[in-house]
Structure 1
Amino acid sequence: MRDCLKALTLALVVCSGAVCAKTATQVEPNTQVPAGNRHYAATGFPDRIVASPAQDAAHGFGVAWRTDVTVSAPVLEWVVAGDSPDVGNVTRVTATTAALQTENGGSHHHRVDVTGLAPDTLYLWRVQGKDTWSAWNQLRTAGSAEQPLTVLYFGDTQNKNLSHVSRVLRAGLKAAPDARLTLFAGDLVSGGDGQDDSEWGEWFAAAGWLPQETAVAPAIGNHEYFEEFEDTPQERRVLGRHWPVTFALPRNGTTAADTSTYWFDYQGARFVVLDGTSALDLGTARAQAAWLDKVLTSNTQRWTIVLLHQPFYSPREGRENTALREHILPVVLKHKVDLVLQGHDHTYGRRGEGQQATPQYVVTVAGPKQYRLSDEARATMAPVGEDTQLYQVLTIDPQRLRYEARTVTGRLYDGFTLDRQADGSKRKTELTEGRIAPRDCARSQTLKGRADRCWE
């Protein structure tokens, strides 16, 4: 670890009185935690605090947080936000508690579902630790279907969250300070390396106050699973222990993947979150398709957005995701879903279905792990991109959905609008003004010598 820290990506040296950049020859560590260090061990102070939307986001939200094992069944306090430090009479809700044992020791993870709230109302809330409290946080419930909504969407964060992903999340917040909802397309952490808990600690450190003051809705990725009995005939995919306790997500998914599928309504849009890993590796594609069909059949919202990790159409060479296309894609097409948001392939690519305006399928990446595009992606998707960290901003109102993908430095990489027509159909218009040219990877191989990737 000491040698790795010496070889961070940019090492500065002095050359004749000037500062020169020197490219490192070793790969940067995935986390900034030295081996054996327990910096992210739980304490009596509440941390990893994250709010998520309720099924009816206009009338509630869920909150999850963590403490050490001395805290069981703490409370959450909430009240309508005001301008005085005297918050007034609060409502208290007792949390449910689940235990977790990791490389950082034992921890307790708590959940509260806040219900019975008023739409489009700013609430003040905080959570309890051991003889202490979190800061007061502000979160506004969803408004009516007539009100405009701003949403942030991020692809895979996964690697080097604190060192590289943090600036992408900050850039997104600066670009969309009025965002009420944040979507993540899975693989929030890399996992499976004995440092899973520290990786989650750095994800929350990178996210800052975003998880407390926007409602966070993540899809699960394959890296939130792990391989049990790896390299044996009994090898199988198993849900990671962090996922069920880290987020307070709606409990309305299919029984075949009940902790990793869910849906919610938010200001005129129905969001449905699928579990691609379970569909592909655990045989739940048919069950998820049937559940999705039921959820979309009952949909009365103007817009429909599906979020999942693995793409229906992969921009990376050698990935087909056949079960998704065979079982779930027909349901997406049947119900005329507007937008499918995906990750997994660590590149950028967008495509539709022929000349139809919808669905629009997007694959994007927020983290530094970068792959290469396939020839098929270059032929069937536009725009495409390599070697680029991105964030996405969606603005939605009753008549228009506007989508923008921007680089971490704020440049417009992709954009379009979907406009509702009088007959209920949608018209797509490309946003071209200010859009930069598609980016390709200029490196022949990674620092580890891999030619199939652009960056580790």
Structure 2
Amino acid sequence: MRALIRRAAAGLLLAACASLQARDAAPEPNTQVPKGAAWHAPSGAPDRIVASPLQQAATGFAVAWRTDAAVRSPALEIVVAGDSPDMGSPRRLQAASTPLRTENGPAHQHRVEVDGLQPDTLYAWRVQGDRSWSAWFHTRTAAAADAPLTLLYFGDTQNKNLSLGTRVLREAMRHAPDARLALFAGDLVSGGDGEDDNEWGEWFASLGALPTSMVVAPAPGNHEYFEEFEDTPQERRVLGAHWPVVFALPGNGAPGARGTSYWFDYQDVRVAVLDGTSALDLGTARDQARWLDAVLADSPRRWSIVMVHQPMFSPRQDRDNALLREHVLPVLERRRVDLVLQGHDHVYGRRGGLRAGQATPQYLVSVAGAKQYRLSPEARATMAPVAEDTQLFQVIRIDGARLRYESRTATGRLYDAFELVREGRATRLVEQADGRIGERACGRARTLKGRADRCWE
């Protein structure tokens, strides 16, 4: 009898384990918000607070944040940070407010530009809500051009931001606690599933302290747009409602893409951000290329970075961004841009410029989020290193005539590394092979949803 009971118990245990495994293997939802819940509804307390660079980052930055619709015109307070809780009388700036209605209810998005600051100075600042204030945050302005600079670069976050994106962002901050600037190469959220605001809420939650301890500069991706009049002759791309109000970005962009392209100087690097979706789908490729050429032509900075969501050379099979190669690529090559930071294809790949032995530009494609695609045969033949099924972040350190680039996995392991060394007008590429792990490839035949063209979703 006891043997029968033990066998029955063992059978129940195996069945329970099998049930748990089946449940664990089921596709995870894109957000952690249960259906019908309003976890990310706005309130009188300020949230989604993010600092972004002004055109000249040494003398100021801009801040955006959210409250409920009852808060119409709050303020920002800022003062030079001190060691005593009594930091003196702060300067107060009134914000401009814009209404935003989402599935989580009506909100007000607030924006203020803080200028007239001192370079390389640590400032304490806070933002106002309904009869309340946020915490005091610390952000340091950009230093002199010859001072060392550390910045972060992330490919698409997009999917399962809170569940699987958080660990990448926190690992990046652990590896680069001195970072002052974070660049996001588009598709911050997935969108289009009726949970846009929940996704933005989880994107901010995944960032933790990052957007208030450094300045954030994102590029728009195709998922920041939606398709209006889909499957009709009038179908067109329309920028989502969140993008223009969630960030306070420089208003110096290209004609036709003024709110989604921009540039700024941060110490000895000029950063130009393009809107690849507008270029490909809305006919602005030529205007953005002309604008980019002018932005790069008059740059007094030693280094240049261009960020665009869609790659010049797509490492995913059956993708070809021909208009970008026709109009933008010649500018990147002629101006010898140092780094071209891209996303969109949910794999990792790096390649150099068009001429053999040319150190710059270095074209990078990376992915921080959970969605993982497969590499094309062409990418395997023309890019090195490459990776599938790998969440990554990048640390870029600039010190005088040297730029060091590192790509690290979600657990902090070194995947790719090189240095660019400026020698007069020339630039030398130095590969850094020590400590790098081997190539990673997808080991799954299909995703949990049964797709063979992807590795994970």
In the superposition, the TM-score normalised over structure 1's length comes to 0.95
The answer for the alignment partner of 2:401 in structure 1 is 399
* Bigger CA radius of gyration: 2
The answer for the alignment partner of 1:429 in structure 2 is 430
Runs (4 or more) in structure 1 with deviation over 6 Å come to 13-21
Post-superposition offset of 1:298: 1.0
After superposition, where does 1:104-143 map in structure 2 within 5 Å?
104-143=104-143
Q: 1:208-266: CA deviations, max 9, x gaps?
A: 11000110000000000001111222111000000000001111101310111000001
- Which residue, out of 365, 368, 384, partners 1:366? 368
Bigger mean CA offset, 260-269 vs 227-236: 227-236
**Residue type matched to 2:242 in 1?**
H
Instruction: Find the aligned partners of 2:102 and 2:189 in 1 and give their Cα distance.
Output: 15
After superposition, where does 1:274-285 map in structure 2 within 5 Å?
274-285=274-285
**Residue type matched to 1:391 in 2?**
F
Instruction: Find the aligned partners of 1:213 and 1:359 in 2 and give their Cα distance.
Output: 30
**Residue type matched to 1:89 in 2?**
S
Post-superposition offset of 1:34: 1.0
Instruction: Find the aligned partners of 1:448 and 1:235 in 2 and give their Cα distance.
Output: 28
Instruction: Find the aligned partners of 1:259 and 1:18 in 2 and give their Cα distance.
Output: 52
Instruction: Find the aligned partners of 1:71 and 1:168 in 2 and give their Cα distance.
Output: 34
Note if contact 1:181-1:216 (Cα within 8 Å) is conserved in structure 2: yes
Confirm whether residue 22 of structure 1 aligns to residue 21 of structure 2: yes
Instruction: Find the aligned partners of 1:135 and 1:15 in 2 and give their Cα distance.
Output: 50
Note if contact 1:230-1:236 (Cα within 8 Å) is conserved in structure 2: yes
Structure 1 residues 449, 177: closer, same or farther in 2, change over 3 A? Answer: same
Post-superposition offset of 1:448: 1.0
Note if contact 1:404-1:412 (Cα within 8 Å) is conserved in structure 2: yes
Instruction: Find the aligned partners of 2:56 and 2:292 in 1 and give their Cα distance.
Output: 17
Instruction: Find the aligned partners of 1:374 and 1:109 in 2 and give their Cα distance.
Output: 41
Instruction: Find the aligned partners of 2:284 and 2:17 in 1 and give their Cα distance.
Output: 59
Structure 1 residues 380, 131: closer, same or farther in 2, change over 3 A? Answer: same
The answer for the alignment partner of 1:296 in structure 2 is 296
Note if contact 1:14-1:20 (Cα within 8 Å) is conserved in structure 2: no
Structure 2: state its 5+ residue gaps.
1-11
Post-superposition offset of 1:435: 0.4
Instruction: Find the aligned partners of 2:204 and 2:240 in 1 and give their Cα distance.
Output: 17
After superposition, where does 1:301-320 map in structure 2 within 5 Å?
301-320=301-320
Structure 1 residues 149, 14: closer, same or farther in 2, change over 3 A? Answer: farther
Structure 1 residues 26, 18: closer, same or farther in 2, change over 3 A? Answer: closer
Bigger mean CA offset, 251-260 vs 381-390: 251-260
In the superposition, the TM-score normalised over structure 2's length comes to 0.95
After superposition, where does 1:436-455 map in structure 2 within 5 Å?
436-455=437-456
Instruction: Find the aligned partners of 1:206 and 1:26 in 2 and give their Cα distance.
Output: 23
After superposition, the CA RMSD in angstroms is 1.6
Instruction: Find the aligned partners of 2:127 and 2:348 in 1 and give their Cα distance.
Output: 38
After superposition, where does 1:302-381 map in structure 2 within 5 Å?
302-353=302-353, 354-381=356-383
Post-superposition offset of 1:16: 12
Bigger mean CA offset, 179-188 vs 23-32: 23-32
Bigger mean CA offset, 386-395 vs 14-23: 14-23
Post-superposition offset of 1:374: 0.1
The answer for the alignment partner of 1:175 in structure 2 is 175
Indicate the SS of the match to 2:332: helix
After superposition, where does 1:44-193 map in structure 2 within 5 Å?
44-193=44-193
Q: 1:404-453: CA deviations, max 9, x gaps?
A: 000011110000000011x3211001110010111000000111111100
Indicate the SS of the match to 1:165: helix
**Residue type matched to 2:392 in 1?**
L
Instruction: Find the aligned partners of 1:427 and 1:19 in 2 and give their Cα distance.
Output: 56
Indicate the SS of the match to 1:257: coil
Q: 1:136-161: CA deviations, max 9, x gaps?
A: 00000000111000001110000000
Instruction: Find the aligned partners of 1:86 and 1:303 in 2 and give their Cα distance.
Output: 40
Q: 1:116-147: CA deviations, max 9, x gaps?
A: 00000000000000000000000000001110
Structure 1 residues 151, 20: closer, same or farther in 2, change over 3 A? Answer: farther
Post-superposition offset of 1:20: 12
**Residue type matched to 1:182 in 2?**
A
The answer for the alignment partner of 1:235 in structure 2 is 235
Instruction: Find the aligned partners of 2:29 and 2:15 in 1 and give their Cα distance.
Output: 31
Note if contact 1:219-1:307 (Cα within 8 Å) is conserved in structure 2: yes
**Residue type matched to 1:298 in 2?**
D
Q: 1:378-413: CA deviations, max 9, x gaps?
A: 000000000000010000012100000000111100
Aligned pair count? Answer: 443
Confirm whether residue 32 of structure 1 aligns to residue 32 of structure 2: yes
**Residue type matched to 2:236 in 1?**
R
**Residue type matched to 1:296 in 2?**
L
Give the fraction of aligned pairs with identical amino acids, expressed as a percent. 65
Indicate the SS of the match to 2:21: strand
Indicate the SS of the match to 1:199: helix
